[in-house]
Each structure stands twice: as C-alpha cells, then as structure tokens.
Amino acid sequence: MAVMRLGHVRLNVLSIEEALTHYTDILGLIETSRDPDGTVYLKGWDEWDKYSVILAPSDRAGVQHIAFKVEKDAELDAYRKRIESYGLEVEEREANALPFCGRSLFLRLPSGHECFLYAEKQFVGKSVGTLNPDPWPDGLKGAGAHWLDHVMLMCEVDPARGTNKVAENVDFFGKVLDFGLAEQVVAGPQGEIQAAAWMFCTTTPHDIAFGAGPRAGLHHISFFLEDWSDILKTADLLAKHRVKVDVTPQRHGITRGATTYFFDPSGNRNETFAGLGYLSQKDMPTITWNEENLWRGIFYHTGDIIGDFLGVYT
C-alpha cells in the first residue's frame, strides 16, 4: 500500500486567460481539457495522467486542494480506516467528483488544507509515447516543464498559543500516509519548534513541504526541469516575458535543488526545480537545519535573508 505521488493541485486564478498564457506559453504545460466555466486542466509533457494542474477561475488566488494518487483502488478503503482511526474526518466521493478520476477520499489536513486521495485518473500518455521514445518531444513551448514536482504549503504556527500545524501535518503524513521526513528546520531555544519540513513518498527529497506562517496558504508549486542550464534559460524566458521573478537562479541547501522562484499573474508563487538532489529512502536519517542556518538552507550561496520570501504567499 502506498501513496505514489502528488497527483495534482487545483489552483485558484483571477484570470483564466492570463493564467493560461503563463502556464502554457511560458511554463510549457499542455492543455488537456476545459470546462464550460473556464476551468482548465493541464499536464507536463513527461506526465501520463490527464492532468497535474487545474486552473480554476476565482476572485481570490491560492490553492483550492491538493491530491495524491495511491497505487490501487482497494487501498482507498484502507486509507479511509487509517485516517478515521487517526481522528480526522474523511468523506468518500464518487467517481468523477474529481474530474476524470475514479472514486476519491476527501479530507482536511491538520493545517486546514483540502486534500484528496484517488487511485485512478484518465490515462493520456507522455508526449514521447512508450515505444522507442525520443528524449523530448518537438513543439514544446517555453520552459517545457516536465512535470509537477512538489508543493509547499504554509501552515499556522504560533508558539505563544501552542499551535504548530507544521508538526501536526508531519505527524499525519508520517503515521497515516507513510511519508518520510527528509529535512526539517527547527527553531526556539532548544530547537523544540518544528518550523518547516520536507517530506517524500517517492525517492526525491520532497513531494510536499510545510512552512510556518501566520495563516494557512500556498507557498509555491514547483515544476521539474532537467538541469541547471534549463533553470537559467527559463529565468531568461521569465525576464523576456516580464514575469515577476521572486528569486533568481540559486541552489537550495535544503534538498540541494537548483531553483528559480516567480509569480503567476494571480500572485501564486511558482518554482522551477532541477536535479535529483539526493536519493531519499525511508530509512534515511532526517537532515536538520537549526534556526541560525535557516537562510543558508533556503539559499545556500549567500545565506542571506530574502525579504518577503517567507512572508508573501497566497
């Protein structure tokens, strides 16, 4: 029984047309379906399921839900029992409640974020196919993002009130969904506050991350590129199209990834991320960063505080 991967995120956007230009022409995702109300479904060229990103029209930016794909339909029953025994409410939703998916489970994470588990989603296939494939397809637009890599959620942490939704999410993902904890940031005089965490269900350093903030929200969604030169070229592309860049190409200490941060037209933060970082396995010891080295962990080269990086999110 296993959660295989982050299956998709449903993002709220203020203008579908502007968002589409950003996610298709600049990032290179491929539109696979569209609802009458304007909701659009997108995938990366190297993904095989129908979509990994849903853009939904809204008057407010942010993440509406995240969804994880589990290996087999029958596992949903087992996960339902586990989630209920843990003490969280969970509802079964019929097939197609999540568009193009089989039945699903809906729950609110301890942090309040909406989350689905599902086992089946309509198969589309990679753009290069499966028989004697080329390494990449012709006709890619913009950055040619390969796949949705991970999501980082902001979770309420208020030591004065004893609230730590980062720690609660880590406990839930570890005990109920069998995620591993690759890295964490600890704060406070004795390092007693878990202020951020990077967790995995695949073999990459993270499939989901949690950071501390005054309220729940979305810090960023991240798309995989092959290597450092793709990160640089994509940053050129962002500048060329006057996309608001948050942090220029860098290396993370945490996860060791190469990165660039920027915003979509609605203000949702995006990241392009490259490199394996390292191989995560369930028995790998968790890497810990203390508060003094927080910024070295985030932006390894300078270790400098970048003003609103942790404070601005949707």
Residues 251-280 that bind Fe ion (CB under 5 A): 271
- 87: Cβ contacts below 8 Å, ≥ 6 apart: none
| Catalytically annotated residue among 47, 150, 183, 313 | 150
3-class state of residue 32 by DSSP: strand
From the list 155, 183, 144, 131, the residue with the least C-alpha distance to 272 is 144
Q: Report the C-alpha gap between 286 and 299 in whole angstroms.
A: 19
Query: Is residue 222 involved in binding Fe ion (CB under 5 A)?
Result: yes
Is position 241 annotated as part of the catalytic site? no
CB distance 277 to 255 below 8 Å:
yes
Least spacing, CB of residue 148 vs Fe ion, in Å: 11
DSSP state of 227: S
Is position 22 annotated as part of the catalytic site? no
Least spacing, CB of residue 42 vs Fe ion, in Å: 19
Is position 150 annotated as part of the catalytic site? yes
Q: Report the C-alpha gap between 28 and 239 in whole angstroms.
A: 16
Candidate ranges 33-41, 122-130, 135-143, 219-227; the one touching Fe ion (CB under 5 A): 219-227
Is position 301 annotated as part of the catalytic site? no
Q: Report the C-alpha gap between 146 and 23 in whole angstroms.
A: 12
Is position 271 annotated as part of the catalytic site? yes
- Nearest position to Fe ion, beta carbon: 222
Q: Which is nearer to Fe ion, 230 or 271 (CB)?
A: 271
| Catalytically annotated residue among 206, 278, 292, 301 | 206
Is position 79 annotated as part of the catalytic site? no
Candidate ranges 7-15, 34-42, 216-224, 226-234; the one touching Fe ion (CB under 5 A): 216-224
Question: How many residues belong to the site for Fe ion (CB under 5 A)?
Answer: 2
Backbone φ and ψ of 235, nearest 5°? -65, -40
Q: How far is CA 273 from the centre of its chain?
A: 11
Q: Which residues are the active-site residues?
A: 150, 206, 220, 252, 261, 271
The footprint of Fe ion (CB under 5 A) covers: 222, 271
